[in-house]
Chain A
Amino acid sequence: GAGVSQTPSNKVTEKGKYVELRCDPISGHTALYWYRQSLGQGPEFLIYFQGTGAADDSGLPNDRFFAVRPEGSVSTLKIQRTERGDSAVYLCASSLRTRNEQFFGPGTRLTVL
């Protein structure tokens, strides 16, 4: 079956702009995670959804970052007033249940000029 998909694959924006990144998890997966990967480092956790609710948003760096999953499937990560330091690859992962194996999408490469 289809894996996790993310759109867009690349996003270039200017400092101060608003961006939305989309994640389509594997069908039937109830747990969804967002991670961020900076150059030369491993991915770092941002936020976790179980169903529609954000059960853990402890990894969001500040209040410019927000994510939703209104119907328990597709999720959108929203970044307001982007800064150059937000440039990174944003990865989405899903798992069948919370403690199951996580599968990652191809990522969205965000560049803030």
Chain B
Amino acid sequence: GIQVEQSPPDLILQEGANSTLRCNFSDSVNNLQWFHQNPWGQLINLFYIPSGTKQNGRLSATTVATERYSLLYISSSQTTDSGVYFCAVGHGGATNKLIFGTGTLLAVQP
């Protein structure tokens, strides 16, 4: 089956710093979503981005489907950005079930 790998696995930032999270996938995808899982476990939708570039405030994302990767940029990080960031891809057929990556654990220190 399709493999989804995220890097780095862990990241510690000082408040105000910028960061880039990467998601690599091993096959073509129908869908790609980025999520932030907060400390209470809620998965918060960040981007629905099967291809192209989107921006939302301090966050932006780029997916290059032909090269099978996606990047999530966080600028001017805040302590509330802490948590786990997941990339998830929808692959094959009519189901569009999401295959989640391994996640990046982000800690933003004041």
Binding site for B on A (CB under 8 A): 31, 33, 35, 41-45, 48, 50, 55-56, 59, 89, 91, 93, 95, 98-104, 106-107, 109
CB distance from B1 to the nearest CB of A (A): 11
Partner of B96, one of A41, A98, A104: A98
Q: In the assembly, what is the distance between CA of A59 and CA of B98, in Å?
A: 11
Q: Assign chain B's interface to a size class.
A: 20 to 34
Knowing A91-B43, A99-B90, A106-B42, say if A45 contacts B31 (CB, 8 Å): no
Find chain A residues with CB under 8 A from B96 CB: 31, 48, 95, 98-99, 102
CB distance from A48 to the nearest CB of B (A): 5
Find chain A residues with CB under 8 A from B33 CB: 101-102
Find chain A residues with CB under 8 A from B99 CB: 45
